[in-house]
C-alpha cells in the first residue's frame, strides 16, 4: 500500500499539488520546486498536459520517488494505444510508482503539435477497467501476467458539470476501482457544496481542485476556454484591482481552501508554475502551522 493510499485512509484532510515536467531534460527547476512541496501528501506529475510535448511523467515520477516525495503519475488516453498504456502501467509499478490518475487528455489541436494524430484507443472508463484487469493478473486480451501490480487509482471529477450527469459518471468510476477524485478548479464554494452533497454518498475521498489565479486575464481565459470552470466576476474584479496579483492569487486560493475544508476530504493545489508559493498558500489557508518551519509532519522530507 502506498503512503498516499494510507494518508487517504488515516488523515481527515489530505493535500496534493501538481508539477509539470520540463520541455527537455533539464529537471533542475523541478528539483528546486520539490523543496516548496515537501509539506504535501503527494505530487501529481502531469502527462503532456495541454497537449504540449514534455518529458514523460514516468521519468519525473521516479525522480520524485527517489527523493522521498510520493508521486501520482498521470496517464492520459490521448497518446497511446492499449498496448502502450498497459505496458507503461506495469513499468510504473516496477519503478515503485503506485499512485496513478487516469485521464482522457486534452485535444491535440490545443497544444504545440497540432498536427499530431490523437489515439484515444481507450476511453478513460476503459483505461480504469484495464487497470483493474492488470491488478487481477490479466491483460486486456485475457493473457496471464507474471506478477501483478496494485495501484491507488484516481480520476477526475467536474463540479461544474450538471450533477445529474457527473455523479453517475463518478459512480461508474468508483465501480471500476477509483480510490480518490481530484476535481476541476473550484472558485464558487456554494456550488461546490451542492456538488459535494451529491458526491459524499459515493464514499470516496474528493480533493477540491485549487488553480491559483495569476491575473484577471487568466480568469477570463478559463471562463471562455475551459469547460466546467467558472470564475465569478467578483474574483476577476479583485484580480484586476490588485496591487500585487501574486499576493491576491494566494489570498483567493487560501480563502477558497478555508471555505471548502469542511466539505471535502482534501485539496489539490495546481500552482501553474508558482510551486514556490505553495507553502504560503498552505499557511494562509490554515493547513500549516505558520510558526513551524518544518512541514514534514504533513508529508515527507525532501532528501538532497
pLDDT of the residue at 261: 96
Query: Residue 150 sits in which domain range?
Result: 3-157
CA atoms within 13 A on the CB side of 44: 29
The pTM assigned to this predicted structure is: 0.92
The answer to the question of residue 250 being in a domain is: no
CA atoms within 13 A on the CB side of 162: 2
Our count of domains for the chain comes to: 1
The answer to the question of residue 148 being in a domain is: yes
The answer to the question of residue 49 being in a domain is: yes
pLDDT of the residue at 298: 41
Across all residues in the chain, what is the average pLDDT? Answer: 93
The answer to the question of residue 272 being in a domain is: no
CATH number at residue 143: 3.20.20.220
- Rounded to the nearest angstrom, the gap between the alpha carbon of residue 32 and the centroid of all alpha carbons in its chain is 20
Tens digit of each residue's pLDDT (9 = 90 or more) over 109-157: 889 999 999 999 999 999 999 999 999 999 999 999 999 999 999 999 9
Q: In this structure, are residues 5 and 38 in contact, taking their beta carbons and an 8 Å threshold?
A: no
Residue 289 scores a pLDDT above 90: no
Q: Which of 66, 18, 74 is nearest to 41 (CA)?
A: 18
The answer to the question of residue 193 being in a domain is: no
Number of Cβ within a 10 Å radius of residue 231: 22
Strands 71-76 and 99-103 turn out to be parallel
Tens digit of each residue's pLDDT (9 = 90 or more) over 210-259: 999 999 999 999 999 888 899 999 999 999 999 999 999 999 999 999 99
Q: Which of 231, 245, 304 is nearest to 277 (CA)?
A: 245
Amino acid at each position: 500500500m502506498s503512503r498516499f493510499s494510507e494518508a487517504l485512509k488515516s488523515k481527515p484532510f489530505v493535500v496534493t499539488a501538481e508539477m509539470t515536467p520540463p520541455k527537455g531534460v533539464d529537471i533542475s527547476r523541478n528539483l528546486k520546486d520539490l523543496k516548496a512541496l515537501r509539506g504535501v501528501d503527494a505530487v501529481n506529475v502531469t502527462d503532456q498536459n495541454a497537449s504540449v510535448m514534455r518529458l514523460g511523467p514516468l521519468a519525473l515520477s521516479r525522480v520524485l520517488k527517489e527523493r522521498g516525495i510520493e508521486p501520482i503519475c498521470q496517464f492520459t488516453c490521448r497518446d497511446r494505444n492499449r498496448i502502450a498504456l498497459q505496458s507503461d502501467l506495469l513499468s510504473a509499478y516496477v519503478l515503485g510508482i503506485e499512485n496513478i490518475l487516469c485521464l482522457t487528455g486534452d485535444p491535440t489541436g490545443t497544444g504545440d503539435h497540432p498536427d499530431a494524430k490523437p489515439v484515444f484507443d481507450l476511453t478513460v472508463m476503459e483505461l480504469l477497467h484495464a487497470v483493474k484487469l492488470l491488478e487481477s493478473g490479466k491483460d486486456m486480451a485475457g493473457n496471464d501476467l507474471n506478477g501483478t501490480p496494485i495501484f491507488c487509482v484516481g480520476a477526475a471529477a467536474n463540479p461544474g458539470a450538471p450533477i445529474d450527469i457527473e455523479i453517475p459518471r463518478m459512480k461508474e468510476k468508483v465501480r471500476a476501482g477509483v480510490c480518490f477524485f481530484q476535481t476541476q478548479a473550484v472558485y464558487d464554494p456554494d456550488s461546490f457544496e451542492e456538488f459535494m452533497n451529491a458526491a459524499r454518498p459515493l464514499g470516496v475521498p474528493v480533493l477540491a481542485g485549487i488553480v491559483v489565479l495569476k491575473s484577471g486575464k487568466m480568469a477570463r481565459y478559463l471562463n471562455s476556454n475551459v469547460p466546467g470552470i467558472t470564475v465569478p466576476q467578483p474574483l476577476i474584479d479583485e484580480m484586476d484591482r490588485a496591487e500585487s496579483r501574486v499576493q491576491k492569487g494566494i489570498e483567493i486560493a487560501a480563502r477558497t481552501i478555508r471555505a471548502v475544508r469542511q466539505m471535502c476530504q482534501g485539496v489539490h493545489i495546481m500552482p501553474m508554475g508558482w510551486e514556490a508559493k505553495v507553502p504560503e498558500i498552505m499557511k494562509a489557508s490554515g493547513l500549516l502551522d505558520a510558526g513551524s518551519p518544518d512541514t514534514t509532519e504533513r508529508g515527507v522530507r525532501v532528501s538532497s
